[in-house]
Amino acid sequence: MKLVLFDCDGTLVDSQHVIVEAMTRAFTRAGLIVPPRPAVLGIVGLSLVEAMRRLGDEDPAFPAEALAELYREAFRELRAESGFVEPLFPGVRAVLDELAAREDVLLGIATGKSQRGVAAVLSHHGLEGRFITIQTADDAPSKPHPAMVLQASEATGIAPRDTVLIGDTSFDMVMARAAGARALGVTWGYHAPALLTEAGAERLIDQAEDLIPAMEQFWGGAA
């Protein structure tokens, strides 16, 4: 049995426009200069307070916790507005369908989102019940700490060596390798391919339909 863990933002769904807008509203309401778009996308995947700390250059006086709450409020507003969308990336649904139909694979999520945020994404896309374990910023230290992977392993009884983490950021790759899991990077997300490789990605995937073949190569033909 194998465990396939997916990151959410930048891997399953394209939420960059919503993230940037929520960050813009949060910083504006706090009376602070809004970080440039590349800086915002560079911290996607971290837990919210840790992301704010990095945007504040780790300054102890930077109001990271207050900004995190302002961001949560802004994101809730955006989710309630007409036109809100966090679309699945092309080909992702077909991959999830194929993996969910297999008897030798369990699916999970490891994300910097909250449980509430993940539930909203899964509900919107009709993916409830697909993932047997969902590890979030509510449950573990921020990526790249390996806790999310290790907790998913404990919850499913599948060892890290039989686990692959699929993600789009360097934080995902470092987390996977630190936990003893396989690290598979996707290039359609928010970190540059070179960053994924430097962080320990064993392979980079450019399109969703190549994910399952890559995992089968990892595991000698049996995903």
Residue 90: domain span: 2-14+86-218
**Per-residue pLDDT at 215:** 94
Last residue of a domain, one of 29, 57, 80: 80
pLDDT in tens, 66-110: 999 999 999 999 999 988 889 999 999 999 999 999 999 999 999
Last residue of a domain, one of 80, 98, 121: 80
Q: Are residues 186 and 97 in the same domain?
A: yes
Residue 74 sits in a domain whose CATH number is: 1.10.150
Last residue of a domain, one of 64, 80, 96: 80
Any idea which residues carry the catalytic annotation?
7, 9
pLDDT at 178 over 60: yes
Our count of domains for the chain comes to 2
**Per-residue pLDDT at 82:** 86
Q: How many helices (H) and strands (E) does the chain have?
A: 10, 6
DSSP one-letter code for 102: -
Burial of residue 169, with CB atoms counted within 10 A of its CB: 0-12 exposed, 13-18 middle, 19 or more buried: buried
pTM score: 0.94
Q: Are residues 130 and 69 in the same domain?
A: no
Q: Are residues 91 and 119 in the same domain?
A: yes
| Contact present, 151 and 175 (Cβ < 8 Å) | no
223 located within any domain: no
Residues composing the chain: 223
